[in-house]
Amino acid sequence: MGARSSQTVDPGVSQGYSSESETVLVVRRRPHMVNGGGFIVSNSKQQVVFRVHGCGVLGSKGKLLLRNGDGNDLLLIRKMGGIVQALNMVHKKWEGFGYDNEGAERLVFTLKDPKDSCLVQNSSIKILVHGKPLKISSTRNNYVEITGSFAERACNIINSEGRTIAKVRIEKEIEEMVGNKKDLYHVIVKPNVDQAFIVGLIAILDYIHGESTIC
């Protein structure tokens, strides 16, 4: 965790949260009644590496905050609304903001809320990725895509080159142990992929599905 690599790093918040080997993160939901909801993310050593706070903690709907294990802010995620006048429709989207070295917000990604789109069930969700630390090619769109079912804890996150960079899974023995797959599951992150970025996307999926981060 935290190792930097000379290889190309996929879209992310910071290269400081990538690893040279595949990493299995454990996501555990926090109950609203005890600590306001959201979830914590631990590594194989049972160390908390990320915390996600949602409406129950922040007191604001459509707003999520990703912090590292030390409590430092990494990613602010907001649900935005925009009017497309030509279609006379309201389209909503999520925007994730990281922070530069001076603490100013930097747009990292944009995700159109699938509830406000024409996507059919089991369709993929595309996330546009913006700005540094990416090396953006003017001839290619930078995006990642989520396929499968987050509700069933069986989805993949794929980059614009078609490579799977992370998977969300629930192990059978864990499901039998906890009884509810929404309470405890795995996020498997491939080498040289920013884990903070992946957890930020998971936070939005959690909110969209009305789970731990929503009031």
Structural domain boundaries in the chain: 15-208
Percent residues over pLDDT 70 in the chain: 76
Cβ atoms of 198 and 187 closer than 8 Å: yes
Single pTM value for the model? 0.84
Confidence of residue 4 (pLDDT cuts 50, 70, 90): very low
Average pLDDT, stretch 12-22? 85
* pLDDT at residue number 63: 95
Q: Give the 3-state DSSP-derived string for the chain, with helices as H, strands as E and coil as C.
A: CCCCCCCCCCCCCCHHHCCCCCEEEEEEECCHHHHCCCEEEECCCCCEEEEEECHHHHCCCCEEEEEECCCCEEEEEEEEEEEECCCCEEEEEEEEEEECCCCCEEEEEEEECHHHCCCCCCCCEEEEECCCCCCCCCCCCCEEEEEEECCCCEEEEEECCCCEEEEEECCHHHHHHHCCCCCEEEEEECCCCCHHHHHHHHHHHHHHCCCCCCC
**Token code pair at residue 200:** 């930020």
Query: Topology of domain 15-208, per CATH?
Result: Porin (2.40.160)
Q: Which of 129, 149, 145 is nearest to 208 (CA)?
A: 149
State yes or no: pLDDT of 89 exceeds 90.
no
More confident residue, 214 or 103: 214
**Interatomic CA distance for residues 163 and 137, integer angstroms:** 17
